[in-house]
């Protein structure tokens, strides 16, 4: 395995580790919880 492949494999392991950590902690940066403050709310149909 070349050095660049080794480094890329390390990168992928890091990403999988982060995914595992987020999954075990029930975390997502795009979750609904906590995102409502200041969110713009639009009502009514948009049909024309």
Q: Give the shortest CB-6-to-another protein separation in angstroms.
A: 9
Q: Give the shortest CB-18-to-another protein separation in angstroms.
A: 7
Q: Give the shortest CB-21-to-another protein separation in angstroms.
A: 10
Q: What DSSP element (H or E) covers 33?
A: none
For 27, residues 6+ apart whose C-beta sits below 8 A from its C-beta are: 21
Q: Distances in Å between the alpha carbon of 18 and those of 24, 30, 37, 38?
A: 10, 15, 27, 29
Which positions lie near another protein, rule CB under 8 A? 1-2, 4-5, 8-9, 11-12, 15-16, 18-20, 22-37, 39, 41, 43-47
């Amino acid at each position: 395995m070349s050095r660049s492949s080794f480094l890329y494999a390390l990168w992928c392991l890091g990403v999988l580790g982060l995914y595992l950590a987020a999954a075990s902690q029930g975390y997502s940066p795009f979750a609904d919880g906590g995102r409502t403050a200041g969110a713009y709310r639009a009502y009514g149909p948009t049909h024309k």
